[in-house]
Chain A
Amino acid sequence: MNDTGPDRALTPGDRAGALVLLAVVTVVAVAAIVLTRDFPPNTLPTDVGPARFPVLHAVVLIVLCAICAVETVRAPHAAALPPPPGARIRVALAVAAVAVAIAAMPHLGFPVTAALFLYAVIWLMGRRQILGNAVYAVAASAAIWLLFSWGLNVPLPVLELGAG
Chain B
Amino acid sequence: MDRRSFTFSALGAMAAIPLGGRAMAAGYPSRTIEMIVPYSAGGGTDLVARAFADIANQSLAKAIGVVNRTGGGGAVGLTGIARARPNGFTIGLGTAEITMLPHMGMASFTASDFTAIAQLNADPSAITVKADAPWQTLEEFLAHAKENPGTVRIGNSGTGAIWHLAAEALGKEVGATFNHIPFEGAAPAVTALLGGHIEAVSVSPAEVSNFVAAGELRMLGVMADERVAAFPDVATFKEQGVDLSVGTWRGVLVPNGLPEEALSVLREVAATAGQSEEFKAQLAKMNLNHAYMDADAFQAKIAAQDEFFGELMTELGMAR
Contacts and interface: CB of A to CB of B under 8 A. Distances in A.
Given A43-B159, A44-B180, A46-B179, A154 B6 contact: yes
B268 interface: no
Most buried by A among B7, B11, B150: B7
Given A43-B159, A164-B87, A155 B34 contact: yes
Contacts of A43: 159, 317-318
Chief secondary structure at chain A's binding surface: loop
A154 B180 CA distance: 39
Interface in A55-109: none
Contacts of A2: none
Nearest to B8: A153
Contacts of B10: 153, 155
A45 B317 CA distance: 13
B179 A155 contact: no
Contact of B67 (A44, A45, A46, A155): A155
A153 B7 contact: yes
A55 to B, nearest CB: 20
B79 interface: no
A50 to B, nearest CB: 11
Contacts of B150: 45
B67 to A, nearest CB: 7
B29 interface: no
A154 B8 contact: yes
A152 B11 CA distance: 9
Contacts of B180: 44
Interface residues of A, number: 9
A164 B28 CA distance: 13
A144 to B, nearest CB: 16
Nearest to B180: A44
Interface in A118-158: 152-155
Interface of A: 43-46, 152-155, 164
20 contacts: A43-B159, A43-B317, A44-B180, A45-B150, A46-B179, A152-B8, A153-B7, A153-B8, A153-B9, A153-B11, A154-B7, A154-B8, A154-B9, A155-B7, A155-B9, A155-B10, A155-B65, A155-B67, A164-B85, A164-B87
Given A152-B8, A154-B6, 18 more contacts: A43-B317, A43-B318, A44-B180, A45-B150, A153-B7, A153-B8, A153-B9, A153-B10, A153-B11, A153-B14, A154-B7, A154-B9, A155-B9, A155-B10, A155-B34, A155-B65, A155-B67, A164-B85
